[in-house]
Amino acid sequence: MKITVFGATGGVGREVVRQALDAGHEVTAVVRDPARLTVPEHERLRVATVADVTDEEALEPVLRGRDAVVSALGASSNKQARLTPVAGPALSAIVSAMDRAGVRRLSAISAAPLGPDHAEDGVLTRSVLLPLLRRALRDVYADLAVMEAVIGASDTCWTVVRPPRLLNKPGTGSYRRAVDANVRAARTIPRADVADALLTSLTDPATERHAVGVAT
């Protein structure tokens, strides 16, 4: 496949680029600063510098001729999400540019707290821990909620992946997955496993127009 990756310099985005190349795909990595892309040069890797990922005109050239798009975009902090939302405005521009470029398949990272609480999680988790987390990162989750709404209303063939806390650990290759639900007792997941979920969803019809909870 020919895949365009947004957020390619972030922890999940770099893993998406690496894994896609290892799987034999052609990758266009969209970045603001090429120096931050710590992925070795590769004959199937194209690095495209785009200063503003909310600029539809700038996005269309990096999408035309592609088979799919992976977004690993998201605010790095609550303050950033409050002052300059990332995911919502970017995905609004991306899905519009995808439509103009004739690209339909999209997978995007979101977060587990945007999904439904699992009925089998304990009362402490559902009544105390998750509400505290949602309150502490309310601006980050508000940005992601806008993103999910934009994606859901689009004509793209989308999948949203909702992980819990991300870890810088090797991928397990055996993470749990739940379609339109959160995984029971979802606590953590390596970034490498999230990257795998984003990529494998592109060819999995069961995830089309669904949110997928993942966790180890």
Mean pLDDT by 10 residues, the chain (216 residues): 97 97 98 91 94 94 97 87 89 97 97 79 61 72 95 97 94 92 88 98 96 95
Instruction: Report the C-alpha gap between 97 and 103 in whole angstroms.
Output: 9
Q: Dump strand ranges (E) for 2-156.
A: 2-6, 26-31, 45-49, 68-71, 105-109
- Give pLDDT, residue 186: 77
Residue with tokens 């397990």: 172
Fill in the DSSP letter of residue 182: P
Residue type, 27: V
pTM to 2 decimal places: 0.92
Instruction: Report the C-alpha gap between 216 and 206 in whole angstroms.
Output: 20
- Give pLDDT, residue 126: 60
